[in-house]
Amino acid sequence: MKKSSFTLIELLIVISIISMLAAMLLPALTKARNRASQIFCTGNLKQCFTATCAYISDYNSYLPFGYDASGAYSGYVSARTPAWYYQLAPYLNVAQREGLYESLGRVYAERPTKPIIFTCPSHKIPFPNSYPTSYAPGLRTASSVPAIDGLQKGKIERVKNPSAKAWINEWQYADGTNPAWPSITINEGNIIPGNTNNFFGMRHFNSGNILFFDGHAAWIPFKDVMSPSSGQIIDGGIFDTYR
């Protein structure tokens, strides 16, 4: 009985068919993977909200983010008001290492070697890293409140329409790669294409996840968060926390 075998032409046809199928499936697989990453990121933000609620309960309704007029790094991190993620760390089983989340501008011997709850899975952060964070509040959450002894820190009850106001936003290094730049805050007036100070992260289908003050997280297209002009935000809009 004669043994059948593929001819060269048949083999090339099979390879061509497999290549065509792979080319058709790859975009779908990539989209599915990105979608899974976006969902995972949303889960991170929801856990941050749970931690925020616990912090608010423990600290007389104050939000875990403030501005210290006498502090360093523009006042958004100091001994009196550490970085927002340093304040939430104990509620998320993240080590609250002295300096690691509080101070800036130094390299520490003990640095996380893998993503933590503050790390978006789509954020390509080189490890080990002193600041493996992918999110940040808008600066108006701290700067748009009265100062008490030089410290500006808002309370949750002052937030108007919490379901429409952003608490924690996707954040990206200024140059897209700098591993030493900490995610303390974003200036919402810089969310303009081409602005070198635009830190809003668009890791999920050219959009970013945002955690709102009522606890829901949503996927927001760039056009819906873009600044109307340099230094400006929409009055009463998503970043106008207390109006």
- Report the C-alpha dihedral over residues 52, 173, 127, 97, rounded to 10 degrees: -40
Owner of token pair 């030493």: 180
Confidence of residue 105 (pLDDT cuts 50, 70, 90): very low
Give per-residue pLDDT as tens, 107-159.
Answer: 555 678 889 999 999 998 888 887 889 999 999 999 999 999 999 999 999 99
Residues 164 and 238 sit within 8 Å (Cβ to Cβ):
yes
For residue 6, pLDDT beyond 80: no
Give per-residue pLDDT as tens, 71-95.
Answer: 766 788 888 888 899 899 999 988 7
For residue 233, pLDDT beyond 60: yes
For the ranges 12-21, 37-46, 47-56, 188-197, which has the lowest average pLDDT?
12-21
Q: Report pLDDT for 2.
A: 53
Residues linked to residue 153 through DSSP beta bridges, in sequence order: 66
Q: Report pLDDT for 12.
A: 72
Task: Report the length, in residues, of the chain.
Answer: 243
**pLDDT, average across residues 51-55:** 98
SS (H, E, C) 157-178: HHCCCHHHCEEEEEECCCCCCC
Q: Report pLDDT for 100.
A: 41
**pLDDT, average across residues 95-100:** 58
Could you tell me the residue ranges of all domains in the chain?
Answer: 36-224
Three-class secondary structure of residue 21 per DSSP: helix
Q: Report pLDDT for 103.
A: 47
Is the backbone of residue 2 left (phi > 0), alpha (psi -120 to 50) or beta?
beta
Q: Report pLDDT for 24.
A: 66
Residues linked to residue 217 through DSSP beta bridges, in sequence order: 211
**Mean of per-residue pLDDT scores for the chain:** 84
Residue of 91, 69, 73, 37 whose CA lies nearest to 183:
73
For residue 3, pLDDT beyond 50: yes
**pLDDT, average across residues 35-55:** 94
**pLDDT, average across residues 189-203:** 89
Strand ranges (DSSP E) for the chain? Answer: 62-68, 135-136, 147-148, 151-155, 166-170, 207-212, 217-221
